[in-house]
Chains A and B, each alone.
Chain A
Amino acid sequence: GAGVSQSPSNKVTEKGKDVELRCDPISGHTALYWYRQSLGQGLEFLIYFQGNSAPDKSGLPSDRFSAERTGGSVSTLTIQRTQQEDSAVYLCASGTSPSYEQYFGPGTRLTVT
């Protein structure tokens, strides 16, 4: 079956612009995680959803970051007024439950110039 998909795969934006990253989880998966990975670094937790609600937003780096999930499916991560330090690969993962196996999408590589 289809895996987790993310779009765009690459995004280059100018400092100060807003960007929207999209994640399509595996059908039927209620848990959805967002992570960020800078070059050569580990995974940085951003937020996770159980259905449409986000029990834990503690990883969002600043109030420029927001995320939503509608219909228990697609999620969007929005970064407002992008900064160069936002440059990273943004990864999405989904699973049948937050405590069970999570499957990653291919990621979106964001470059802020």
Chain B
Amino acid sequence: QKEVEQNSGPLSVPEGAIASLNCTYSDRGSQSFFWYRQYSGKSPELIMSIYSNGDKEDGRFTAQLNKASQYVSLLIRDSQPSDSATYLCAVFSGGYNKLIFGAGTRLAVHP
């Protein structure tokens, strides 16, 4: 089992829809959770961080964390073609004492 797992996609959604990206992690000692967006040929860009159970909203983005289920998700409301990118889930693992990335989910928003 990988430490951080994501569906590779592609996840295809129409413009204006909600995109839902999911991530599971194996280490129950994980403390902090992040979502990064990576456009093709560019470096990852931090878009959300979440540290406690529940929802955290920032503009069109909502991060959701459920530590009991070892699950973190990212919702993108009113998806735009400019949101088309690979979304990376990252978890700071207490057990490994380092930040671990999932392989990423490719999102395609079509007009």
Contacts and interface: CB of A to CB of B under 8 A. Distances in A.
Interface of A: 33, 35, 41-43, 45, 48, 55-56, 89, 91, 93, 98-107
B75 interface: no
B92 A98 contact: yes
B34 A101 contact: yes
A43 B101 contact: yes
B104 A42 contact: yes
Interface of B: 31-32, 34, 36, 42-46, 49, 88, 90, 92, 96-104
A84 B50 CA distance: 39
Contact of B103 (A42, A56, A99, A106): A42
A99 B101 contact: no
A42 B98 contact: no
Given A98-B98, A99-B32, A102-B99, A43 B92 contact: no
A35 B43 CA distance: 11
A104 to B, nearest CB: 4
Contacts of B96: 56
B103 A33 contact: no
A8 to B, nearest CB: 15
Given A98-B92, A99-B32, A101-B34, A45 B45 contact: no
A56 B46 CA distance: 23
A89 B104 CA distance: 16
Given A99-B31, A99-B32, A101-B34, A45 B98 contact: yes
A42 B101 contact: yes
Nearest to A106: B43
Given A42-B103, A91-B43, A98-B92, 11 more contacts: A42-B102, A43-B44, A43-B88, A45-B98, A45-B100, A45-B101, A48-B98, A99-B31, A101-B46, A101-B49, A105-B43
